């Protein structure tokens, strides 16, 4: 039997985190009474003129830069014509030739196959269409909600370089982390602010690849992986029986675990792309690029590597933490509060997340840090600490109050504190050097280590001592 492999490319749409829509001042927010957030521009009424939302462009440029893309200095808008009941204009304004950016790459990290860079072909801006509402109105009628018309999207098209469904899911997950960390999009698949289409075809050495099919609207990482697995198996069955895979657009039926044919695959000519006559070319100048770069966070893959190399976390924990900036912030607050990185990662990823969701992490990290310091100092036992955390997360006890009632740790004199801080610096000569080279974020790490060694010292006091010692080095 032939050794069939698969080649997968993803098209990811993310809703940009702007206040208003892409070409008008209607609010860009989910929900709202159907058809209440509309104006002549997003309805495409005759004579209404679109005007580009600069904030949407800034976010698109920010994402492109975070992905290492090459910016198109002068990009243009195009009309993509098609008929949908939820697209009153009969066309969508998008970017076709000369998109916002091309090139770029995303790193994926998998335990089985290690780290690998996946190319990005293009990043462009476009407006969203409305939504058909099935099963909402009485009887068998279908409703149409146009609130989403004109909502700004960024589309990211990967190179066809993914080889397995697991890799495809890892790519989408890492891209989501980049979108969130940079503040470009909330990228919530379950709420539709991140949507994924997957192209897949079979390859076999010595033969041309089979025609590809596209699976539309995959709205969770699990669906993405399962749909690709099912589609690859379906295609393999066809070619192994001597048949031909047809190029078509398919959907995913998760209940029956199979892809279903929607329509023959459109080719670009069928969309009748035209230059958008109502919008001038979009110029990306240096000022806009600088704005887009402002406050750019540490790249997700770099932070992951740093957590492994400098903080001693496992690759799996580092990957899970850096998957979401809210976990990163909570974790760093724990470390800043004097908890060792490994203990912080363990408790956050198991105990805290067992009782709270990523979007509402509780109790506050500063309190959990105090709890974990008490644990390390032997002032509370593990099972009691876990129970206390669970009760606090459920709102049954006030953690701050419970912490007050724990036995005191021995107080520290200023001389003792200074000796402890000095010891921490002596133990980490390489990190001290990096701090002096400008890695100022390492201060929290030193403070954390000193707090851990000192028992229940005042973090502010420790920070002062540490800053003084580092400045004098």
The residues that touch Zn ion, with contacts defined as CB under 5 A, are 24, 26, 39, 41-42
Straight-line distance from the first to the last Cα atom of the chain, in angstroms, rounded to the nearest whole number: 68
Q: How far is the CB of 344 from Zn ion (least distance, A)?
A: 46
Smallest distance from Zn ion to CB 79, Å? 17
- At 73, list the tokens: 């200095």
Nearest distance in Å: CB 142, Zn ion:
23
Per DSSP, 208 falls in state P
For Zn ion, the closer of residues 5 and 40 by Cβ is: 40
Strand partners, 122: 102, 157
Give me the least distance between CB of 435 and Zn ion, in Å please. 50
- 184-168-158-201 Cα dihedral, nearest 10 degrees: -150
Q: Cβ closer to Zn ion: 24 or 162?
A: 24
Residue 144 token pair: 């149409």
Using the minimum distance from each CB to Zn ion, give the nearer residue, 146 or 375: 146
- Residue 274: both structure tokens together: 């035209």
Q: How near is the Cβ of 49 to Zn ion at its closest, in Å? A: 12
Instruction: Give CA–CA dist 141/288, Å, rounded.
Output: 46
Q: Using CB atoms within 10 Å of the CB of residue 334, give its burial: 0 to 12 exposed, 13 to 18 middle, 19+ buried.
A: buried
Q: Six-digit token pair at 383?
A: 């099972």
Least Å distance, CB 292 to Zn ion, is 25
Tell how far CA 460 is from the center of its chain: 33
Closest to Zn ion by CB, 37 vs 176, is 37
Closer Cβ to Zn ion, 16 or 42, answer by number: 42
Comparing CB distances to Zn ion, the nearer of 150 and 319 is: 150
State in angstroms the smallest separation of the CB of 51 from Zn ion. Answer: 11
Residue whose entry in the numeric block shows the structure tokens 């070619």? 239
Length of the chain in terms of residues written: 473
Q: Closest distance between Zn ion and the C-beta of residue 156, in Å?
A: 25
Q: Is 59 helix (H, G, I), strand (E, B) or coil?
A: helix
Question: Do 106 and 336 contact (CB within 8 A), yes or no?
Answer: no
Question: Which residues contact residue 346 at a Cβ distance below 8 angstroms, ignoring those fewer than 6 apart?
Answer: 317
148 or 386, CB closer to Zn ion?
A: 148
Residue 74, both tokens: 């002068």
- Nearest distance from C-beta of residue 75 to Zn ion, angstroms: 22
Q: What's the rounded Cα separation, in Å, for the pair 253 and 260? A: 7
Picking from 457, 432, 451, 427, the residue whose alpha carbon sits closest to that of residue 443 is 432
Partnered with residue 14 across adjacent β-strands are: 154, 194
CB of 143 to Zn ion, least distance (A): 20
Distance, in Å, from the CA atom of 350 to the CA atom of 330, rounded to the nearest integer, reads: 13
Residue 115 β-bridge partners: 109
Q: Which of 167, 235, 195 is nearest to 4 (CA)?
A: 235
User: Residue 140: CB partners within 8 Å, gap ≥ 6?
Assistant: none
Decide whether 22 or 352 has the Cβ nearer to Zn ion.
Answer: 22
Whether the Cβ atoms of residue 374 and residue 403 lie closer than 8 Å to each other:
yes
Q: Which of 26, 67, 317 is nearest to 175 (CA)?
A: 67
State in angstroms the smallest separation of the CB of 88 from Zn ion: 12
CB of 287 to Zn ion, least distance (A): 27
Closer residue to Zn ion, CB minimum distance, 130 or 363: 130
| 250: helix, strand or coil | strand
- Tell me the three state secondary structure of residue 198: strand
CB contact at 8 A, 196 and 224: yes
Toward Zn ion, which CB reaches closer, 89 or 320? 89
Q: Please, which residue, 43 or 102, has the CB nearer to Zn ion?
A: 43
Task: Give the span between the Cα atoms of 5 and 201, in whole angstroms.
Answer: 9
Name which of 24 and 67 has its Cβ closer to Zn ion. 24
The total of other beta-carbon atoms located within 10 Å of residue 138's CB is 5
């Amino acid at each position: 039997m032939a050794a069939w492999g698969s080649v997968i490319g993803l098209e990811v749409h993310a809703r940009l985190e702007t206040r208003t829509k892409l070409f008008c001042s209607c609010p860009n927010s989910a929900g709202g009474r159907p058809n209440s957030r509309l104006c002549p521009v997003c309805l495409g009424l005759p004579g209404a003129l679109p005007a580009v939302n600069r904030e949407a462009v800034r976010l698109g440029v920010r994402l492109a830069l975070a992905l290492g893309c090459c910016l198109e200095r002068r990009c243009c808008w195009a009309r993509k014509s098609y008929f949908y009941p939820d697209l009153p204009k009969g066309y969508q304004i998008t970017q076709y030739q000369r998109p916002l950016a091309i090139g770029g790459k995303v790193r994926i990290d998998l335990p089985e196959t290690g780290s690998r860079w996946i190319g990005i072909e293009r990043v462009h801006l476009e407006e969203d269409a409305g939504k058909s509402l099935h099963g909402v109105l009485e009887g068998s009628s279908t409703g149409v909600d146009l609130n989403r018309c004109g909502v700004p999207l960024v589309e990211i098209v990967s190179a066809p370089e993914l080889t397995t469904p697991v890799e495809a899911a890892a790519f989408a997950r890492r891209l989501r982390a980049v979108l969130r960390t940079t503040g470009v999009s909330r990228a919530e698949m379950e709420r539709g602010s991140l949507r994924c289409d997957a192209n897949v075809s079979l390859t076999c050495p010595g033969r041309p690849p089979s025609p590809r099919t596209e699976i539309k609207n995959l709205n969770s990482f699990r669906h993405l992986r399962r749909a690709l697995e099912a589609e690859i198996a379906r295609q393999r069955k066809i070619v192994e029986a001597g048949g031909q895979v047809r190029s078509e657009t398919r959907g995913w039926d998760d209940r029956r675990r199979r892809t279903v044919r929607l329509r023959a695959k459109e080719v670009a000519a069928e969309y009748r792309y035209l230059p958008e006559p109502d919008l001038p070319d979009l110029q990306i100048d240096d000022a806009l690029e600088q704005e887009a770069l402002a406050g750019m966070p540490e790249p997700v893959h770099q932070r992951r590597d740093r957590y492994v190399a400098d903080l001693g976390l496992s690759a799996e924990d580092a990957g899970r933490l850096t998957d979401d900036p809210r976990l990163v912030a909570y974790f760093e607050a724990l470390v800043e509060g004097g908890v060792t990185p490994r203990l912080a990662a363990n408790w956050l990823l198991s105990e805290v997340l067992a009782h709270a969701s990523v979007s509402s992490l509780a109790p506050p990290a500063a309190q959990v840090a105090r709890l974990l310091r008490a644990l390390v100092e032997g002032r509370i036992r593990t099972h009691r600490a876990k129970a206390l955390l669970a009760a606090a997360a459920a709102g049954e006890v006030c953690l701050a109050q419970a912490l007050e009632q724990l036995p005191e740790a021995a107080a520290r004199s200023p001389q003792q504190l200074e000796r402890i801080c000095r010891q921490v610096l002596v133990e980490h000569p390489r990190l001290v050097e990096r701090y002096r080279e400008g890695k100022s974020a390492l201060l929290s790490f030193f403070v954390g280590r000193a707090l851990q060694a000192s028992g229940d010292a005042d973090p502010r006091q420790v920070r002062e001592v540490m800053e003084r010692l580092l400045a004098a080095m």
